[in-house]
Structure 1
Amino acid sequence: MVLSIRRWMSRIVFLVIFAILLLIVTGGYRWLAEALSPVQPYRVPAGDALKVFKSEPGPPDSSNAADRLRWFFYYGE
């Protein structure tokens, strides 16, 4: 069995170059994702700004079956 050192070296060089390029691409993707993402979307607002939350309305007070069924299908409660 003949082992060609030149063939094995070309494969090793290819794998090393592939690994280096893979690290560069993944690092660039992480950097781009951090650059485009908002800084802190859930931080407390500064100045006169208000953070507003939409709360779900309470369940209907009526004992109408249609209203209760509609509430169940809309909100799952």
Structure 2
Amino acid sequence: MIISLRRGLRFIRFIIFFSALVYLFYNVLDLFNGWISPVDQYQIPSGNAVKVFQETDWTVHGEGRPSLAERLRLFYWYGE
């Protein structure tokens, strides 16, 4: 079996070039990650902001657990 030195060096050069491009592509995507990803809605408020939410107590209305239709309606109403 004959192994060509020129062919081996060309293969090594290809692997190095391919690895460099993958590394560059990864870093470019990582750069835009902060811009693309949505704002964290559940972070702790800063400054004078106050985080407000309402917990629903379903047993107050005498209903017990809400029906599937009611839960689905609330899901679409809140958009979460």
Do the two structures share a fold, i.e. TM-score over 0.5? yes
Q: Which runs of 5+ in 2 are unaligned?
A: 72-80
| 1:39 Cα deviation from its structure 2 partner | 7.0
Deviation string 1:1-46 (CA, Å, 9 cap, x unpaired) is 1111111111111100000111111111111102444676503231
Change in 2 beyond 3 A, CA 1:54/1:68: closer
The answer for the alignment partner of 2:45 in structure 1 is: 44
- Residue 11 of structure 2 is aligned to residue 15 of structure 1: no
* Residue matched to 1:4: 4
Question: Which residue number corresponds to residue 68 of structure 1?
Answer: 64
Percent of aligned pairs with the same residue? 22
Equivalent AA in structure 1 for residue 46 of structure 2:
P
Larger Rg: 1
SS for the counterpart of 2:64 is helix
Give 5+ residue unaligned stretches, structure 1: none
Aligned length: 68
- CA RMSD, 1 decimal: 2.7
